[in-house]
Amino acid sequence: PRVRTGIVPSARPDDGVVVSQVFDSTSAADAGIEEGDVIIEWDGTPTPDVHAWMPLLLDHEPGEEIKVKIRRDDQEIELIMILRAP
């Protein structure tokens, strides 16, 4: 991919992409994504699992601003992420 988010997604199946780790000073950290969050939508496209999410990274360039919808506890939150190069 031309961009990286700065997260380690969990391999466990879930209803979305479970964030198991967030690295400091990355796109995800700057957007406010936290460990345990579940990415349920990426720039308007549902992300039922990590396999559906990974190809979506190929459609973006560094510097693009995208909307990420996450589930944290019982809340859905929309965040803005500015993508960076690897």
Q: Which of 65, 66, 67, 39 shows the shortest CA–CA distance to 53? A: 39
Query: pTM of the prediction?
Result: 0.93
Is the pLDDT at 75 greater than 90? The verdict is yes
> 10 Å Cβ neighbour count for 83?
22
Residue 11: is its pLDDT beyond 80? Answer: no
- Distance between terminal CA atoms of the chain? 8
At residue 60, the pLDDT reads 93
Give me the count of residues in the chain.
86
Q: What is the tens place of the pLDDT at every residue in 21-67?
A: 999 999 999 999 999 999 999 999 999 999 999 999 999 999 999 99
What are the distances in angstroms from CA 1 to CA 61, 73, 77?
9, 30, 25
Structure tokens at 8: 């380690």
